[in-house]
């Protein structure tokens, strides 16, 4: 998977490649789909949600520029796979999910795989996690109409926020917001297709 889908497409961040080699992706999908776990596409995880394509996880992680020991907020735990990749890089991960069965299943996986540095919360992630703010990195793995204001408020300086944003619900632009010296700059990293970010500051 890493050689054919990620390395070959130009992702060279060694820490990201190492994490993608290490995390057992088949344990983050239903048993019936385990034979497809390492294939080059997203997979359903129930409740109308998906685990992203491996390449998209690697690309999002690379553009987030995560370093060991950083405090990272993820919105949209889903299967827990992206959070596990961030934890494998050595980040302190805070991840929020709004669908209870997904939240519960992800928690079980984190315990089973001994990812004790991942903290989970069942809530509307468009509100962020104010009690734990600020965060050096924020990653949103669902697509909303705009950048939720609370997330930008909870981003430290310096800090990076990566989020798919689009007014058309079928696809989004992947934005990277970088805060430095009190200023926030925006970069468009390309088109992506994520499930809806649902909530007070989402759809």
- Where in the sequence numbering do the catalytic residues fall? 52
Identify which range of 31-39, 50-58, 128-136, 158-166 contacts ligand SAH by CB under 6 A.
50-58
Q: How far is the CB of 197 from ligand SAH (least distance, A)?
A: 4
Compute the distance between CA of residue 130 and CA of residue 40 in angstroms, rounded to an integer.
36
Interface with ligand SAH (CB under 6 A), residue from 20, 51, 63, 147: 51
63 belongs to the binding site for ligand SAH (CB under 6 A): no
Give residues 80-139 in contact with ligand SAH (rule: CB under 6 A): 81-82, 96-99, 102, 124-126
Beta carbon nearer to ligand SAH, 61 or 177: 61
Determine, following the binding rule CB under 6 A, whether residue 27 of this chain makes contact with ligand SAH.
Answer: no
Task: Kindly tell me which of 157 and 194 has the beta carbon lying closer to ligand SAH.
Answer: 194
Token look-up 């990812």 returns 115
176 touches 155 (CB < 8 A):
no
CB 73 within 8 A of CB 130: no
Q: What's the CA gap between 153 and 147, in Å, rounded?
A: 11
DSSP assignments along 125-153, one per residue: GGG--GGG--EEEEEE-SBBSS--HHHHH
Distance in Å, CB of 101 to ligand SAH, minimum:
10
Indicate the helix (H) or strand (E) that contains 88. Answer: helix 81-88
**CB–CB of 169/203 below 8 Å?**
yes
Residues that bind ligand SAH (CB under 6 A): 49-52, 75-76, 78-79, 81-82, 96-99, 102, 124-126, 141-142, 195, 197-199, 202
């Amino acid at each position: 998977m890493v050689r054919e889908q990620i390395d070959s497409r130009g992702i060279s961040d060694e820490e990201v490649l190492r994490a993608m080699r290490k995390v057992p992706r088949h344990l983050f999908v239903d048993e019936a789909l385990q034979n497809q776990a390492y294939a080059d596409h997203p997979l359903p995880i129930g409740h109308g949600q998906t685990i992203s394509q491996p390449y998209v996880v690697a690309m999002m992680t690379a553009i987030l520029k995560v370093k060991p020991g950083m405090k990272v907020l993820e919105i949209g735990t889903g299967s827990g796979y992206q959070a596990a990749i961030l934890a494998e890089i050595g980040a302190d991960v805070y991840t929020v999910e709004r669908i209870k069965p997904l939240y519960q299943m992800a928690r079980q996986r984190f315990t089973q795989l001994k990812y004790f540095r991942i903290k989970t919360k069942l809530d509307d992630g468009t509100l962020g996690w104010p009690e734990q703010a600020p965060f050096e990195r924020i990653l949103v793995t669902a697509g909303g109409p705009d950048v939720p204001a609370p997330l930008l408020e909870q981003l430290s300086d310096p800090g990076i926020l990566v989020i798919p944003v689009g007014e058309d619900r079928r696809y989004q632009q992947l934005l990277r917001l970088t805060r430095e010296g009190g200023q926030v700059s925006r970069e468009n990293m390309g088109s992506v297709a994520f499930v809806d970010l649902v909530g007070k500051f989402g759809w």
